[in-house]
Structure 1
Amino acid sequence: MTASHESPLRTHMTALGWSPEQLIARINEVRRKRGASALHAKSAYKWVQGRQPSATTMGDIVAVLHLHRGLRVTPADLGWDGPGRRSHALDDPYNVTAGELLLASQGDDMKRRKFVLLTGSAVTACALDLLLPAAQNLRSALDGDRVSTSLLANIEASVRRSRELDDTEGSRPALVWAGGLWSTLGQVVTRCSYGDAEGRQLHRLYIEMSETYGWMLFDAAEHARAQRVYLTGLRVAREARSDPALHQATANLLASAAYQESWLGHHTEAGTLIAIASGRSDLSSRVLAVIAQRDITIAGRRGDVDGVKRATARAHEQLGDVSRGDPPWWSEWLTAAAVDGATGRAWLALSRPDDAASYLAQRANIATSAYPRDRLLALCDLAYARLQVSDPVAACEPLDQALDLTAIVDSPRVAGYLDDVIRQLRDTSCDHAKARDVLRKATVEHRRASGQGPLG
């Protein structure tokens, strides 16, 4: 931006002799007085380059200019009144408070809005803030309805049930219900009154629900919405009171967010998130094992052979250590076989199907009916590995079993993977009877799933 077309905000800053960092320091003084979290020291650079801040931050800037220049300016005076230029908390989750995000995510706004994927610091900034001392700005409503012990027990049961539904049926059937629970829980956090003990439990439950709902959105290929849910949970974690159970829930949310970023090919962001997840000293061994299990897949996707080996060793070591901490309920799914499955999946990503095969065969054989989506994914992995070593007949057995599970598991992520593996089998032009049977069965299942009815 040339001097003749300098932004109005830059003009005010020049008159005051301020750098962007000095402006932010003054804004944060204002925010502290009203109990809001501090903005990042570099936030002002994008404003002087023409980007519009959130409505709340606009108010802070106007207040600072009035205080230090004695001028009554409006957002319009600063060039922030153009049509379609208004910011929204969910569009910029870093530069707003947890309370603003909670309010923005209530109701149908999450469903109606069209979000774009975030990358770079827009994804990692909320997580990096967790490395700073807790802000503890999230408070209950003084005049709101009281959160009782029985209400908390019911919320806890509902959060657990939502995860169980996702594990047993896939993301799609319970997605609307889980979204409603997540939104309603946000209203309880912002509109009800509660003491410190109730607040710790309530905030921990919100973070657990954010991880579950975010994972369901990721599994349903709603990636941009999943990001907003994860980042809202991280903002709550930043401003909630410090608590070991909350720290464990936050680490799990970070690990799931990292897994999604890896799936999307955002390897730098995934690495940052997983490193922050494992950085706390008060995590139980099982939680550390969960993080390491996610890190196995992340390392494989970014092409890091040594990283896969280190993460696998760390996951098995932590899983075998029962002396450190009390494992949370949501970590019960992790087993040595699940770690091996992640290792096999990582070798597949590294184009080493021979190394993957033994891990994946063991995982597919041990995967239980309690987690049918996980078993379906393991079977797809095994079939894919066998196709990669040019053994289409051997791939037919796991594919046949996987097709049986599609009647009970509705997971767009895994269904897309299964379709890709079936397509690869078809491309081999294998004329074996097993291959013909599997391809015929796949056609029937596809018609059933799409509501077309049986073949005439």
Structure 2
Amino acid sequence: MRTEPIPLRQHLGLLGWSCEQLIARVNQHRNRRGSLPLHRKSAYPWMRGERPSVEVAGDVLAVLAQHTGRPVTASDLGWNRPRQRRRPRALDTPYEATATELLRDTQGDTPMHRRSFLLLSGAVATAPALDLLMHGAPALAAAQDGDLVSAQLTATVEQAVRQARELDDSEGSASILLWAGGLWQNLGKLITESRYRDAEGVRLHTAYIEMSETYGWMLFDAGHHPQAQRVYQTGLRLAREAADASGVHHATVNLLASTAYQESWLGQYQEAATLLDVATSSRPQALTPRLRAVVEMRRIALAGQMGDTTALHRADDRTRAHLAAARDSEEPWWTLWLSSSAIDAQTGRALLAAHHPDQAEPYLAGRTTEDDASYPRDRMLFASELADARVQTGDVNGAVEAARQALALAEQVGSRRVHDHLARVTTALRQQHDTHPGVRTLLTGQYS
């Protein structure tokens, strides 16, 4: 009777398999049940004594059993023993890692929104952004022995990134995190494992930075703040090592702006200001009018969180001036959402955050009636914020009507951030105006 486990290396030797061949068969097994594929190098740490997650271990054991013709258990491989202390991950200290290290560390078998990280703050939150101000970084090189990425595949990647953003705009974030995370992860694999010409390399790097902004925003919207930071920082690190190209710079500015918005939301105001300063200081010649407007929109949000209404209105004026100067045919596609109505909305939200609900109300009221039907999350958010402003100014009937608009959109929206905000508003209505007939009707769902 065997008492000692046979290491995975010996099992593979008996089968005549390499690590890559094992993973290829495991991925076939995972594909049949709809799971994401593993990185082709995933088995190498297992050969050194580490072990995979419970889910992946089950896949490996099933494949080994199928091909050896006998049951293979976790104890057979020594995988039932206490886990060894894991090696430090690049994502634990993303400000110290290279783009390649970060890209590889994102390719684990656990989705990003289920991985555990500490929230970053202070200088560590801004380090990858500040590195953008320094020139002369070594360029991120394509793999020398990978398959060649064609122009057609590159175009398909770009279209998928665009569709991810459009899907997020139309549905919110919670229901599509797994799909978007897989796209972001696989794009990272493509960049690190494939060969590509310079032209395709620029486009792939641009697409990755754009996808980092979109996926990071989804994580932020779902309340996964440490994970969103890691996605943002990975995109910024790649931007530091990418080629000097206008598409890369445009996408990086947008990524910096969204990263700053999250920091504002978390109350990390100095970090947010630093990120926005980098956005306008790093290669300022690459900034288009709409890009400048996007950055100023985030300054509006930051000023509102800080209660600085003077800075808020200055940023509002600058945003409108930049938007008026834009020629849309020369602007990045992902800036075209910005409109005067969107500026009204952001200014109203910022004034509400600065505790000026009376000033916020007219801005928010205009937004909810004019917003594009293709953005239900935005309409739900601003309707709930309008309700919030009206609760604070004592307009109960108006608050009920705005909350009704928000609730009517709730089933279309998967955003935890927006649902949490609406829950706070309806709780305030119930606590402060529980005898009001409109409030009672609203909260019991008895309205048409």
| TM score, norm. by length of structure 1 | 0.77
State which of 208, 215, 220 in structure 2 corresponds to 1:206: 208
Please identify, of 253-262 and 385-394, the stretch whose mean Cα deviation from structure 2 is larger: 385-394
Structure 1, residues 105-145: CA drift from partner, whole Å, max 9, x if none? 01324355311100001110100000111414201001111
Measure how far apart 1:219 and its partner are: 0.3
Measure how far apart 1:84 and its partner are: 4.6
**Residue in 1 that maps onto 2:364:** 360
Q: Kindly provide the amino acid, as one letter, of the partner of residue 266 in structure 2.
A: L
Contact persistence 1:254–1:273 (CA under 8 A): yes
Structure 1, residues 225-272: CA drift from partner, whole Å, max 9, x if none? 000000000000000011111111000001101101111111111111
**Residue in 1 that maps onto 2:130:** 128
Counterpart-to-counterpart distance in 2, 1:362 and 1:112 = 38
Structure 1, residues 11-34: CA drift from partner, whole Å, max 9, x if none? xxxxxxxxxxxxxxxxxxxxxxxx
**Residue in 2 that maps onto 1:95:** 96
State which of 409, 413, 430 in structure 2 corresponds to 1:426: 430
Structure 1, residues 335-357: CA drift from partner, whole Å, max 9, x if none? 00100111111111111111111
Q: What stretches of structure 2 of length at least 5 have no aligned partner?
A: 1-83
Counterpart-to-counterpart distance in 2, 1:388 and 1:223 = 29
Q: Is 1:407 the counterpart of 2:408 in the alignment?
A: no
Counterpart-to-counterpart distance in 2, 1:98 and 1:170 = 29
Q: Is 1:294 the counterpart of 2:318 in the alignment?
A: no
Counterpart-to-counterpart distance in 1, 2:167 and 2:243 = 30
**Residue in 2 that maps onto 1:186:** 188
Structure 1, residues 127-164: CA drift from partner, whole Å, max 9, x if none? 00001114142010011111101101110111011111
**Residue in 1 that maps onto 2:235:** 233
Alignment of 1:307-326 (within 5 A): 307-323=311-327, 326=330
Q: Kindly provide the amino acid, as one letter, of the partner of residue 93 in structure 1.
A: P
Contact persistence 2:113–2:224 (CA under 8 A): no
Structure 1, residues 35-83: CA drift from partner, whole Å, max 9, x if none? xxxxxxxxxxxxxxxxxxxxxxxxxxxxxxxxxxxxxxxxxxxxxxxx8
Counterpart-to-counterpart distance in 2, 1:363 and 1:134 = 44
> Quick one: structure 1 residues 200 and 134, their matched pair in 2 at CA, closer, same or farther if it must change by over 3 Å?
farther
**Residue in 2 that maps onto 1:416:** 420
Q: Is 1:105 the counterpart of 2:106 in the alignment?
A: yes
Q: Kindly provide the amino acid, as one letter, of the partner of residue 373 in structure 1.
A: R
Counterpart-to-counterpart distance in 2, 1:440 and 1:367 = 27
**Residue in 1 that maps onto 2:244:** 242
**Residue in 2 that maps onto 1:350:** 354
> Quick one: structure 1 residues 299 and 154, their matched pair in 2 at CA, closer, same or farther if it must change by over 3 Å?
same
Q: Kindly provide the amino acid, as one letter, of the partner of residue 386 in structure 1.
A: R
Counterpart-to-counterpart distance in 2, 1:411 and 1:91 = 26
| TM score, norm. by length of structure 2 | 0.78
Counterpart-to-counterpart distance in 1, 2:392 and 2:278 = 35
Structure 1, residues 350-375: CA drift from partner, whole Å, max 9, x if none? 11111111111111111121111010
Counterpart-to-counterpart distance in 1, 2:298 and 2:247 = 20
Q: Kindly provide the amino acid, as one letter, of the partner of residue 361 in structure 1.
A: A
Q: How many pairs does the alignment contain?
A: 362
Q: Kindly provide the amino acid, as one letter, of the partner of residue 106 in structure 1.
A: Q
> Quick one: structure 1 residues 171 and 91, their matched pair in 2 at CA, closer, same or farther if it must change by over 3 Å?
same
Counterpart-to-counterpart distance in 1, 2:302 and 2:127 = 19
> Quick one: structure 1 residues 400 and 181, their matched pair in 2 at CA, closer, same or farther if it must change by over 3 Å?
same
> Quick one: structure 1 residues 362 and 185, their matched pair in 2 at CA, closer, same or farther if it must change by over 3 Å?
same
**Residue in 1 that maps onto 2:378:** 374
Structure 1, residues 181-237: CA drift from partner, whole Å, max 9, x if none? 000000000000011111100000000000000000000001010000000000000
Counterpart-to-counterpart distance in 1, 2:316 and 2:436 = 37
Deviating above 4 A after TM superposition, structure 1's stretches of 4 or more consecutive aligned residues are 83-86
Measure how far apart 1:86 and its partner are: 4.2
Q: Is 1:329 the counterpart of 2:365 in the alignment?
A: no
Counterpart-to-counterpart distance in 2, 1:391 and 1:337 = 23
Contact persistence 2:303–2:350 (CA under 8 A): yes
**Residue in 1 that maps onto 2:285:** 281
SS in 2 for 1:262: helix
Contact persistence 1:403–1:441 (CA under 8 A): no
State which of 165, 168, 173 in structure 1 corresponds to 2:167: 165
Measure how far apart 1:276 and its partner are: 1.1
Task: Percent identity, please.
Answer: 50
Q: Is 1:340 the counterpart of 2:318 in the alignment?
A: no
Contact persistence 1:171–1:410 (CA under 8 A): yes
State which of 255, 258, 282 in structure 2 corresponds to 1:256: 258
Counterpart-to-counterpart distance in 1, 2:428 and 2:280 = 37
Measure how far apart 1:87 and its partner are: 2.3
Contact persistence 1:173–1:410 (CA under 8 A): yes
Q: Kindly provide the amino acid, as one letter, of the partner of residue 424 in structure 1.
A: A
**Residue in 1 that maps onto 2:401:** 397
Q: Kindly provide the amino acid, as one letter, of the partner of residue 241 in structure 1.
A: A
Contact persistence 1:208–1:249 (CA under 8 A): yes
